[in-house]
Amino acid sequence: MNRLAIALWNPIVAKEYRSRMRTWRSPLAMTVYILLLGGVGWAIFASTAASARNSFNGAQAANYGQILFLWLILFQMVLLAFITPALTAGAVSSERERQTIDLLFVTKLPAFSILWGKLLASMSFVILLLLLSIPVFSLVFLFGGIELDQVVIAFLVTAVAALTLGIIGLACSTAFKRTLPATVSAYGAAFILLAGSLLFGLLFPTEINPNATRAPAPPAVTYLSPILPLVVIGTNGLLNGYGIRNGGIYPMTQGGGMACSAGPNGTQSCYMTTVPIGKGAFGQPYNPPQPSGTTIPSGLFSGWQYWQATVTMQLVISLVALILSAILLPPIRHLPWRRRDRGVA
Amino acid sequence: MITVDGLTKIYGNRTALDHVSFEVPKGEIFGFVGPNGAGKTTTLRILAALLEPTSGRALVDGADVIEHPDLVHDRLGYMPDFFGVYDQLTASEYLDFYASCYRQPKARRKKIADDLLELVGLTDRGDQAVDTLSRGLKQRLCLARALVHDPAVLLLDEPASGLDPRARVEMREILKELQTMGKTIVISSHILPELTELCTMIGIIDQGRMRATGPVHEVIRQLTAGRRLRITVLGQKEEAAAVLKPLSAIHEVVMVNGSIEARYDGDDAAAAGILQTLIAAGIKVSGFSQLEGGLEDAFMKATSEDI
C-alpha cells in the first residue's frame, strides 16, 4: 500500500466508521438533519406555491427558486456549523478522557495520522449529510432560477466551511485536555467564523470614496464567513457596499446618512444628510456607488469571486490549524528550536 | 536490552525521578517495586517514549527513546496501569485495530488476533464487546494488545492491580509463558510475593531514587541484614530459647507458629555452632533450617532508610 493510500485509509478511519455507525446516534442525526432541511424546504415551497397560485410567470418562478435555494443553503450551513464542531471537538480529548490516547501513541501511527484519521472520519459524515441533502435541493429545479454551477459552488463553499470548522474543532480538541472546554471553544470559533466576521464588516465597513464609481469591497475579514459568498451565489446578486453605514448587504438606493431622489433618465441624485467620517460633506452631491457584481471590486482579493476569497482564506486557516494540531498532539514534541539536555549525570 | 542512565524528571519544583539508572539484560523479568508516587510509572512512561525526561537517557534495544521513538515503539509493548477501551468493538476487532496500527499485514491480522486471544485465554470472548468485559478480562486483552506486533520488550505497569486472586494467578501464568517465549519484561507491581516468584531481577525505587537493583536474591541478601534460623524442637521451647539467648552470635529469638526463629550474625559455620550448642544442652532438635529474608523485608528496608 502506498503512502497516500495509508494516509487516506488509516486504521483510525475504519475504527471510527465502525464505532459511529453501530450506534443509534448517527442514523438519528441523519434523520433529524434531513427532516429539518426538508421541513424548511417544504415550508418555503408551500408559501411560494400559495403566492404563485394567483399570478405566476417564468420570472417569478425563477425568483421563487432563488429564494428557496438561498434559504436552504444558508440553513444547511447553520446546521453544519452546529454539527461539525460536535464531531471533531471531542475527537482527541475524548481519547484522553477515555485513557486510550497513550495506547495509540505507542503504535507505529504518527501523530499526524491520528489527526488525519479523526478528521477524515468526521468529515466523511459531513459529506454524507451533504449528499443526503441533494434530493431536498432538487426542489429548487422545479422553479428554476438556479444553475447547476451555482449549486456546485455553493456546496463547495459549504463543504470547505464545514472542513474549516472541523479542523478548528480538532485543534481545540488537541489543545484542551477535556472535551467540554474544547467543545465550547470550537463553537466559539464557529460563531466568530460565521457571524463574527460578518458583524465586524457591518460595524467597521470599508470607507467609501465619494468619487468612486463602484461600491467598495467589504473588509477582507468578512470573506472568512461563508454566509457572504452563499448569499452572492444564491441570489446571483450584485453586492453594493456592505456595512451599517451603507444600509445593509443588498443593493440599496438609500442608506443611512444619505437622501436620494430620482433624476432624469433613471439616474439618482443623492445628498449626504449626515456627515459620516470620510464620506463626503454635508449637503454636497454624492454619487451612490454602483453595484460591484459578484467579483470583489477592490482590496486584497480584487477581481476574485467572493466564494474564491472565502474558500482560500478558510483553507489557509485550516492548514494553520492542522499544523498547530500536529505540533501539539505528540507526547514528546520534536521542535527544531528546542534545545535538549542530553547530558548524562 | 534496556538501559536507563541517570534519568531525571522534574515537574516544576518536584523531582519525580532523581538520576535513576538500571539495566535489564535480554530475556530477564525485571520487577520494578516502590511505594505509590515513587516514580515507577514515570520511568515506564519515559521508556515507552510517552514522556520526555528532564535529563539522562533511556535505551530500548539500543534505540534512544527521544531520538528514535518509532524504533522504540516497534520493539516494545506497553500496558499502562489505567487504560480505557473503545465502545462498539469486539475483542477480535479491538486486536485487529491495534494490529493495523502497528502496520501488520491485513492477511495476518486475523491469525494474530486469534493466537493472542488463545494466549490470554479469551478465545471464547472474541465476539464479545470489549466494554462489557470484566476488569480482569480487559487486563488480559490489553496484554494481548501489547503483543500484536510481537515486541521483544514488554513494559507492564501494575498488570495485576484490581484483579481477584484467581485472575492474578492466571496473569502470572501468562507472564511465565511470555518469559519462555524469550520476552524481556519490566513489570511494576505492589504484590511482592508474586514478584519474588516471577522476577529474575528487581529494582526498588523510592522518592524518585533507585534504592537497589540487581538479581532478586542478591538484592534481598544485600538488604536483609543478619540471617535467620528456624529451629523446631520437641517440647523444650523455653529451654531452647534460654540456651540461645546468651550466645553472642544471636541477636533475637522469637516464637513463630510453634517454631523458634533466631536472627544471628555469621556464616554457615556459626549456624553449625549454634546447632551443636543446642544439642550439647540436651535440646531435642527436630528441625533446623536457614531462612532467607523475603522481598517484603528488603522492600521495607530499602524504603525506610536512606541508603
Give the pLDDT score at B59: 92
pLDDT at B184: 92
Cβ contact (<8 Å) for A103 and B98? Answer: yes
* Bridge partners for B262 per DSSP: B229, B253
Task: Return the SS3 of B79.
Answer: strand
- pLDDT tens-digit series, residues B107-144: 899 999 999 999 888 889 989 999 898 888 888 899 99
At A256, is the pLDDT very low, low, confident or very high (cuts 50, 70, 90)?
very low
pTM recorded for the entire structure: 0.78
Contact residues on chain B for A11, CB-CB shorter than 8 A: 97, 100-101
Using a CB-CB cut-off of 8 Å, the residues of chain A touching B49 are: 105-106, 331-332
Which has the higher per-residue pLDDT, A36 or A20? A36
Interchain proximity A344–B5, CB inside 8 Å: yes
Q: What is the pLDDT of residues A170-196, one digit of tens each?
A: 999 999 999 999 999 999 999 999 999
List residues bridging with B4 in a β-sheet.
Answer: B22, B58
Q: Which has more pLDDT, B38 or A131?
A: A131
Higher pLDDT, A86 or A297: A86
Judge contact between A150 and A233, C-beta under 8 A. yes
Of A99, A109, A341, nearest to B83 by CB-CB distance is A99
Q: Which of chain B's residues have a Cβ under 8 Å away from the Cβ of A106?
A: 48-50, 73, 76-78
Task: Give the separation between CA B96 and CA B104, rounded to whole angstroms.
Answer: 9
- What is the C-alpha to C-alpha distance for residues B162 and B151, in angstroms, rounded to an integer? 25
Mean pLDDT of chain B: 86
Q: How confident is the model at residue B172 (pLDDT cuts 50, 70, 90)?
A: confident
Chain B CB contacts of A98 below 8 Å: 84-86
Compute the average pLDDT of residues A200-210: 74
Q: Residue A277 corresponds to which cell in the numbers above? A: 467620517
A208/A199 Cα distance (integer angstroms): 18
Q: What is the rounded end-to-end Cα distance, in angstroms, of chain B?
A: 27
What CA–CA distance (Å, rounded) separates A222 from A149? 23
Angle at A183 between CA A180 and CA A184, to 5 degrees: 85
> Where is pLDDT greater, at B166 or A299?
B166
**Is residue A113 scored above 70 in pLDDT?**
yes
Give the number of A-B residue pairs with CB atoms closer than 8 Å: 89
pLDDT at A281: 43
Give, as one character, the DSSP assignment of residue A54: T
Q: Lowest mean pLDDT: which of A295-304, A319-328, B124-133, B238-247?
A: A295-304
Which residue, A228, A247, A244, is CA-closest to A301? A228
| Interface test with chain A among B64, B87, B100, by most A beta carbons within 10 Å | B100
Please give the Cα distance from B186 to B163 (Å, whole number): 19
Question: Which chain A residue's Cα is nearest to B87?
Answer: A19
* Mean pLDDT computed over A32-47: 89
Q: Indicate whether B209 pLDDT > 60.
A: yes
Contact B49 A331 (CB under 8 A): yes
Nearest to A100 among B19, B45, B86 (CB): B86
Tens digit of pLDDT for each residue in A71-82?
999 999 999 999
A294: pLDDT strictly greater than 60: yes
Q: Do A332 and B49 touch (CB under 8 A)?
A: yes
To the nearest whole Å, the CA of A7 is away from the closest chain B CA by 12
Q: Do the Cβ atoms of B82 and A99 come within 8 Å?
A: yes
Query: Are A88 and A179 spatial neighbours (Cβ–Cβ below 8 Å)?
Result: no
**Range of A258-267, B65-74, B249-258 with top mean pLDDT:** B65-74
ipTM: 0.79
Hey, where are the domains in chain B? 2-222, 226-291
Could you read off the pLDDT of B249-273 as tens digits, one per residue?
887 888 877 788 888 877 778 888 8
The residues pairing with A102 across neighbouring beta strands, listed in sequence order, are none
Interface residues from chain B to A (CB-CB < 8 Å): 5-6, 8, 19, 45, 48-52, 54-57, 66, 69-70, 73-74, 76-78, 80, 82-89, 93, 97-98, 100-103, 145, 149
CATH number 3.30.70.100 given to B226-291: yes
pLDDT of residue A282 exceeding 50: no
Say if the Cβ atoms of A332 and B98 lie within 8 Å: no
Q: If you average pLDDT over residues B274-296, what whole number do you get? A: 84
Give the minimum alpha-carbon distance from A87 to chain B in angstroms, rounded to a whole number: 16
Among A136-145, A320-329, B160-169, B245-254, the range with the most confident prediction by mean pLDDT is A320-329
* Nearest residue in chain B measured CA to CA from A100: B84
Cβ separation A100–B83 shorter than 8 A: yes
**Poorest-pLDDT segment among A51-60, A137-146, B226-235:** A51-60
Q: pLDDT tier at A291 (50, 70, 90 boundaries)?
A: very low
Q: What is the pLDDT of residue A241?
A: 55
User: Residue A83 pLDDT > 90, yes or no?
Assistant: yes
pLDDT class of A7 with cuts at 50, 70, 90: low
Q: In this predicted structure, what is the pLDDT of residue A159?
A: 95
**Contact criterion met (CB < 8 Å) for A22 and B86:** no
Verify whether the Cβ–Cβ distance B50 to A342 is below 8 Å: no
Contacts of A5 in chain B (CB under 8 A): none
| Helices B295-304/B216-223 angle, 10° precision | 60
Confidence of residue B96 (pLDDT cuts 50, 70, 90): very high
Tell me: pLDDT of A340 over 60: no
Instruction: State phi, psi for A106 to the nearest 5 degrees.
Output: -85, 0
Measured N-to-C along each axis, helices B135-146 and B165-180 cross at an angle, to the nearest 10 degrees, of 10
Fold assignment, B2-222: Rossmann fold (3.40.50)
- The chain-wide mean pLDDT, for chain A, equals 78
